[in-house]
Chains A and B, each alone.
Chain A
Amino acid sequence: MSKYTPILTRRYTLPQSWTLAVAESAGAYEAARKALNTMTPEAIRAEVKAANLRGRGGAGFPAGVKWSFLAPKPGQQVYLVINADEGEPGTFKDRTIMEKDPHRLIEGCIITMYAIGSHKTFIYVRGELALAIERLEKAIQEAKARNYLGSKPFGTNHPMEIVVHPGAGAYICGEETALLNSLEGKRGEPRLKPPFPAVRGAFDMPTIVNNVETIASVPDIILMGGEAWSRLSLLPPEFNDGGVRLYGVSGHVARPGIYEAPVGITLRELIYELGGGMLHPDRPLKAVIPGGSSTPVIRPDDKVHAPDPKHPLHRWHGKSHLDVPMGVDTMRGIGSMLGTCCAIVMDTSVNMVEVARNLMRFYHHESCGQCTPCREGTGWLVDILNQVAGGRGNKVHLDLLVDVSNNMMGNTICALADGAAMPMLALIQKFRKEFIEAIEKGLTNDHRLDRAIRHALLKEGALA
């Protein structure tokens, strides 16, 4: 992978990469100029479809297909809304685009607005990300001053405007319909679907909601053509999962961070090559959460079971889950999810009951409270796990955790409840012994999640 030439991140290392002068000297807005001056909206949409660009926000829905659901009635405005609420634990990729190359996102918005017949984009940025907001605002000013936005962008008669909207701290606002409510100045509570945003979204108008990275991929799709972009992926074409993407790796690796690579590298490559391997030579990999905290945990010794030659994963039959190329459908095929493609790596010092307790506390805190199974269920999970940790565990607790989780799935307005229940169930299924042990003996200070590095941290710096 050392020969890889970055695409999405190619401007990140330039000094002042976030300014228009620097970005433009390194190719920014070439794609927008080409799209608006030489292409029809239909042609752009066809390229994005051919690119097999799967949404980068977690669900992996093909962007080109989503755009085709738009059918505005006469007189209706179409809005483009960028989901920049980045809050899924373990995920920190969109922030790098907004901080280091905001013009890439703006260029993507310009091309997309033209392609879908929209004149206005709202970028909903997580309120905490003050630097990202500042750089986006500045970049929009710069683009306006050059007439890349405004009444005639690149001389084309298609007025465009971009508004940066700050969130105010609520994970649930990353869910697209909660985000729309929050944008409208309401509590960030998810809406019942249907209607889907493409029919009735922001301010009751047809709306496309896409993740930051999804839209930031559009300029290069236009420059190199959808098919060529799609072929950059390492996955076989029948997976319809094209291009390159940002990978994140955090936790117990030597070089945590965001890295760009083609779609379809393996978890092993992400951890041991890009991530620089495990943090400490004596503490091997125990578990990895592949794509944000809502994705079920993976063990290195889990093997692909697909003996049937017609099974889509057959070619990886018998291999470790770490050696399956990461894609939306391949990860689903091994019982997990690709999610945001940002992995959390845990070594043998980690107690999985503590992991569950940390994550369930998160979901309980972030549940918007509209649905009883989610509001109460996440609370019960936390209560039970706290009792177990506190040494008041009971044999029935294991079944209770499974029961509560099962009752949360599929019974709610949005996917937050599933996003809590799925990892909970996977943790129990894959680390059952640890749960039983905790129920019998409770947990002590020795199980705290930073126990392996605490000493070094207190002594200063050197972590390993």
Chain B
Amino acid sequence: MMRNENENPHAPFQPDPKEEQAIDELIAKYPTKRAACLPLLHMCQRRVGWISPEVIDFVAKRLEMSTAEVKGIVTFYTMYHHAPVGKHVIWVCRTLSCELRGAKTIQEHLERRLGCRPGQTSRDGRWTLKKAECLAGCGYAPVVQIDDRYYEELTPAKLDAILDQIEKGEMPPQSETPWRLP
């Protein structure tokens, strides 16, 4: 599902036939309908950019859950955005291993460059900055995740190069996790 920026933000969430089929396939994987809740929310968020009230209504109806139940799930997990976010979301890992290797320095650098603090979106709407807990990249610290890609062993200069490239419209690939032989 591609995100469509011209979409009316308050129209009910309506999947196209191809998406409908993908949702049916998803539900078929599980013994119960509601088990598809997490992956379906991911699918919707990829299209809409966040979990809007319309998405919540749609998911509740499709999986025969109450909207309160879906809301309870959305608020439990950090990956779902409860409010619209910038075009890209940057998660900076701030847990111990990363912290020992400069995570705070990385975060401060981003705050300066983007002009916003964690939890906020840059004025141009391009970036939302967030703090993350351990991203399972501790040996390759400091780590940030931008949208669904990991960037590891960062320095402020390396990170700048990555952001420059994204601002030009190209998403640098996630590099293969380093493997060092003993």
B8 within 8 A of A: no
A168 interface contact, C-beta 8 A: yes
For A354, the closest partner residue in chain B by CB is B99
* CB interface residues, A 140-174, toward B, < 8 Å: 163, 165-171
Taking a contact as CB atoms closer than 8 A, the residue among B39, B139, B178 that contacts A250 in the complex is: B139
> Is B178 a contact of A257 with CB atoms below 8 Å?
yes
State the CA gap A257–B180 with chains docked (Å).
Answer: 7
Query: Is A185 within 8 A of B133, CB to CB?
Result: no
- 8 Å CB contact of B105 from A273, A362, A457: A457
What 1/0 mask marks residues of chain A from 266 to 284 whose CB sits below 8 Å from any chain B CB?
Answer: 0000000110000000000
- Contact, CB under 8 Å: A450 / B35: no
Structural contact, B36 and A87, CB atoms closer than 8 A: no
For A346, the chain B residues whose CB sits under 8 A away are 100
Segment at the interface with B among A56-64, A95-103, A104-112, A398-406: A95-103
Q: Report which of A1, A170, A362 forms a contact with B134, defined as CB distance below 8 A.
A: A362
A256 touching B139 by the CB < 8 A rule? yes
Expressed in whole angstroms, the Cα–Cα distance for A365 and B38 within the complex equals 20
* A169 and B139 contact, CB distance less than 8 A: no
In the complex, whether B29 has a CB less than 8 A from a CB of chain A is: yes
Q: Please indicate the chain B residues that have their CB under 8 angstroms from the CB of A336 in the complex.
A: none
What are the interface flags for B81-124 relative to A under an 8 Å C-beta threshold, 1 for contact and 0 otherwise? 00000000001001111011111110000000000000000000
Shortest C-beta distance, B77 to chain A (Å), equals 4
Report the interface size for chain A: residues with CB under 8 A from the other chain.
77
Q: Which B residues are CB-close (under 8 A) to A130?
A: 148-149
Q: Is the CB of A92 within 8 A of B37?
A: no
Question: Contacting B73 at CB < 8 Å: which of A126, A129, A186, A448?
Answer: A186
In the complex, whether B177 has a CB less than 8 A from a CB of chain A is: yes
Which chain A residue has the least Cβ–Cβ distance from B141? Answer: A250
B67 within 8 A of A: no
Taking a contact as CB atoms under 8 Å apart, the answer to whether B155 and A449 are in contact is no
Contact, CB under 8 Å: A95 / B155: no
List the B side residues contacting A185 at CB < 8 Å: 30, 32, 34-38, 63, 65, 73
Nearest-Cβ distance from residue A211 to partner chain B, whole angstroms:
13
Is B157 an interface position by the 8 A CB rule? Answer: yes
Within 8 Å CB of A252, what residues of B?
100
- With A128-B136, A457-B155 known as contacts, the answer to whether A168 contacts B80 (CB < 8 A) is yes
13 sample A-B contacts, Cβ–Cβ < 8 Å, listed by A number: A77-B31, A91-B136, A92-B138, A100-B179, A168-B80, A185-B38, A248-B138, A250-B139, A250-B141, A251-B138, A261-B182, A293-B95, A454-B104
